């Protein structure tokens, strides 16, 4: 489990508000919160939803232990509130899209229902888990799109933010990465692990050929040789060829060589020629060194003969956009719809209990999403949430509802998916997203509209102030 004791993994004000609700006798008031994000990361066209399986584990274990209550007492919390927390367990309902779903801005992809105290106290852990894992899964998805049918591995643990590397490796797999160097994530999440060697291995021997031979002797059927420690084309690749031939004589095969510096396209082409001329066309070429979707796309456009990409820093840190702006907002309290009003119209939230309906083109591809009130039926039109004259006709289109109940009165009602299962689902869903939404440069904006009834309710509440 990611967190053995998750209750204090929160912001202090979540607990002060919870105590305030309790002391004022308001803690049993029913409330709904929505999780959504306002803008797409990486200037992209979509997000891969991830983190749900970890969140479900956290919620199942969200109880306060004696040492935690003692700590809260030291922080000044009142004894009657701490007595309440002693028996606390989440007893509400949660609705969510599936892990691996393709989602978009300004749609409530997770809804939490219960009393105001229990729904409030989950805020930070929900945001922390879903924002980070969805961000990394999305980055991974973009990298895999650039790589096409080439293999991609996560090499990022040493550059990740502390123990976030565990979630980063898991989320990378959900986004489409084939495996990881992260051994603990492999054990925790049942994801494939692999690796090669470091420059220090080569340097630790008296010469490069001895380093290669020693490694190949210990791993005759699993050797990937790092060829750029001294001179890639004059030393590394020729020595790798010698070792590959020696392995052949013993009935084994070298798996690959790895390039980790220099002009990767040029070095890959030269290395490929040298390997092929030596009759080693089966030896693959792996490449690493500050790769991301743009570098990989460039290498692909140059027809660089690279078979496997090892991506590290720019994957697990979401280097160019390091935070998803997911928020968790109250949509109803005590049976009454509510919203957050802002002078920035894009930040005015959607009130009341809602669902997401995805409308499909004739070929089954995604056309647009509609955010509707929970009790609404079929729609003819969905409207732009901020621009009144923009709308999309959806009459007679096939549709699917994306939210389903995953927690019922505090009890998880689904078996959390594994990263590989979520990855398969994400891969299948991405095939239904049209190419113009997946391109890296100026992707076409996917339409997310609201029903007339929801739009009118929002306008009424804004006018009331």
pLDDT by residue (tens digit) across 296-355?
999 999 999 999 999 999 999 999 999 999 999 999 999 999 998 887 778 889 999 999
Euclidean distance between CA atoms 216 and 221, whole angstroms: 8
Q: Strand 30-37 vs strand 381-383: parallel, antiparallel, or unpaired?
A: unpaired
Residues 6+ apart with CB under 8 A from 458: 339, 348, 350, 351, 450
The pLDDT of residue 389:
85
Q: Are 144 and 154 in contact (CB under 8 A)?
A: no
Sheet architecture: strand order including 404-408: 336-337, 326-333, 30-37, 110-115, 93-96, 404-408, 411-412
- Mean of pLDDT values over 204-215: 97
Kindly list the domain boundaries of the chain, sorted by start residue. Answer: 12-136+321-464, 142-316
Please, where are the H alpha helices in 219-348? 237-249, 264-277, 293-301, 313-316
In the predicted model, is pLDDT for residue 244 greater than 70?
Answer: yes
- Report the percent of the chain where pLDDT is more than 70: 100
Q: What are phi and psi of 190, to 5 degrees?
A: 55, 50
Residue 386 has pLDDT above 90, yes or no: no
Q: What are phi and psi of 382, to 5 degrees?
A: -120, 150
Question: What pLDDT was estimated at residue 283?
Answer: 98
The tens digit of pLDDT for each residue in 46-83 reads 999 999 999 999 999 999 999 999 999 999 999 999 99
Tell me what pLDDT residue 226 has. 98
Return the minimum-mean-pLDDT range out of 23-27, 293-297, 345-349: 345-349
Give the residue carrying structure tokens 């968790």. 328
Mention every residue, 6+ apart, whose C-beta is less than 8 A from residue 360: 366, 367, 397, 398, 399, 400, 432
| DSSP element (H, E) containing 191 | none
CA 237/CA 257 separation, integer angstroms? 8
Select the more confidently predicted residue: 250 or 388.
250
Answer whether 360's CB lies under 8 Å from 400's CB: yes
The structure's pTM equals 0.96
Q: Where are the alpha helices (DSSP H) in 320-398?
A: none
Pair 154, 383: CB distance under 8 Å = no
Closest CA to 98 of 457, 415, 454: 415
Q: How many helices (H) and strands (E) does the chain have?
A: 16, 21
Q: DSSP label at 263?
A: -
C-alpha 291/C-alpha 155 separation (Å) is 10
Asked whether residue 422 carries a pLDDT value surpassing 70, the answer given is yes
Structure-token match 């050797």, residue found: 223
> What tokens appear for 463 in the block?
């006018």
Contact 95, 403 (CB under 8 A): yes
N- to C-terminal Cα separation, the chain: 44
User: With 90 as the cut, is the pLDDT of residue 129 above it?
Assistant: yes
Looking at residue 290, what DSSP letter applies? Answer: S
Which pLDDT belongs to residue 345? 79
Cα Rg of the chain (Å, integer): 26
DSSP state, residue 462: H
Question: What pLDDT sits at residue 387?
Answer: 84
Partners of 284 in the β-ladder: 256
CA–CA distance, 186 with 195 (Å, rounded to integer): 12
Confidence bin at 382 (pLDDT 50/70/90): very high
Calculate the alpha carbon distances from 273 to 150, 308, 333 in Å. 19, 17, 68
Q: In this model, does residue 1 exceed pLDDT 70?
A: no
Res. 371: pLDDT tops 80: yes
Distance of alpha carbon 33 from its chain centroid, rounded?
Answer: 21
d(CA 159, CA 169): 12
Section 382-411 average pLDDT: 94
Q: Tell me: pLDDT of 145 over 80.
A: yes
21-25: which pairs have CB atoms within 8 A and are 24 or more residues apart?
21/116, 21/117, 21/120, 22/80, 22/81, 22/84, 22/117, 23/78, 23/80, 23/81
The CATH homologous superfamily of the domain defined by 12-136+321-464: nicotinate phosphoribosyltransferase (3.20.140.10)
Superfamily of domain 142-316: Aldolase class I (3.20.20.70)
Q: Are 96 and 109 in contact (CB under 8 A)?
A: yes
Name beta bridge partners: 181.
none
Contact 63, 386 (CB under 8 A): no
Given pLDDT bands bounded at 50, 70 and 90, which one contains residue 285?
Answer: very high
Average pLDDT, the chain: 96
Query: Can you state the angle between helices 293-301 and 123-147, rounded to 10 degrees?
Result: 10
Whole-number pLDDT of residue 465: 67
Q: Which residues contact 392 (CB under 8 A, 6 or more apart)?
A: 359, 367, 368, 381, 382, 447, 449
């Amino acid at each position: 489990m990611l967190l053995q004791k998750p209750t204090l993994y929160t912001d202090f004000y979540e607990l002060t508000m919870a105590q305030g609700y309790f002391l004022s006798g308001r803690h049993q008031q029913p409330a709904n919160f929505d999780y959504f994000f306002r803008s797409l990361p990486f200037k992209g066209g979509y997000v891969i939803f991830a983190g749900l399986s970890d969140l479900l584990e956290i919620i199942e274990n969200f109880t306060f232990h004696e040492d935690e209550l003692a700590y809260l007492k030291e922080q000044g919390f009142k004894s009657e509130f701490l007595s309440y927390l002693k028996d606390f367990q989440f007893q509400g309902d949660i609705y969510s899209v599936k892990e691996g779903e393709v989602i978009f801005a300004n749609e409530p992809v997770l809804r939490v229902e219960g009393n105001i105290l229990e729904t409030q106290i989950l805020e930070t852990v929900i945001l922390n888990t879903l924002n980070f894992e969805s961000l990394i899964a999305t980055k991974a998805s973009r990298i895999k799109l650039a790589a096409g049918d080439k293999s991609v591995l996560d090499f990022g643990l040493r550059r990740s933010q502390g123990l976030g590397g565990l979630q980063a490796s898991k989320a990378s797999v959900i986004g489409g990465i084939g495996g990881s160097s992260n051994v603990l994530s492999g054990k925790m999440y049942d994801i494939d692990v692999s690796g090669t060697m470091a420059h220090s291995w080569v340097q630790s021997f008296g010469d490069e050929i001895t380093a290669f031979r020693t490694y190949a002797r210990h791993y005759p059927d699993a050797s990937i040789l790092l060829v750029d420690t001294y001179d890639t084309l004059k030393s590394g690749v020729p020595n790798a060829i010698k070792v590959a031939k020696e392995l052949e004589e013993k009935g084994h095969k070298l798996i690959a060589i790895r390039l980790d510096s220099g002009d990767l396209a040029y070095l890959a082409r030269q290395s490929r020629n040298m390997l092929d001329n030596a009759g080693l066309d089966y030896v693959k070429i792996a490449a690493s060194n500050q790769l991301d979707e743009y570098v990989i796309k460039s290498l692909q456009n140059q027809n660089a003969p690279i078979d496997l990409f090892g991506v590290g820093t720019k994957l697990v840190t979401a280097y160019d956009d390091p935070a998803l702006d997911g928020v968790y907002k109250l949509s109803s309290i005590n049976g009454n719809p509510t919203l957050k009003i802002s002078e920035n119209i894009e930040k005015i939230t959607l009130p009341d209990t809602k669902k997401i309906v995805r409308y499909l083109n004739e070929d089954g591809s995604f056309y647009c999403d509609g955010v509707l009130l929970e009790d609404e039926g079929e729609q003819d039109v969905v409207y732009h949430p901020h621009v009144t004259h923009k709308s999309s006709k959806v009459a007679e289109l096939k549709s699917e509802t994306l939210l389903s109940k995953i927690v019922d009165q505090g009890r998880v009602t689904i078996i959390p998916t594994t990263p590989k299962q979520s990855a398969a689902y994400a891969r299948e869903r991405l095939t239904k997203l049209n190419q113009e939404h997946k391109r890296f440069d100026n992707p076409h904006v996917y339409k997310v509209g609201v029903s007339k009834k929801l739009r009118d309710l929002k306008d009424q509440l804004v006018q009331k102030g």
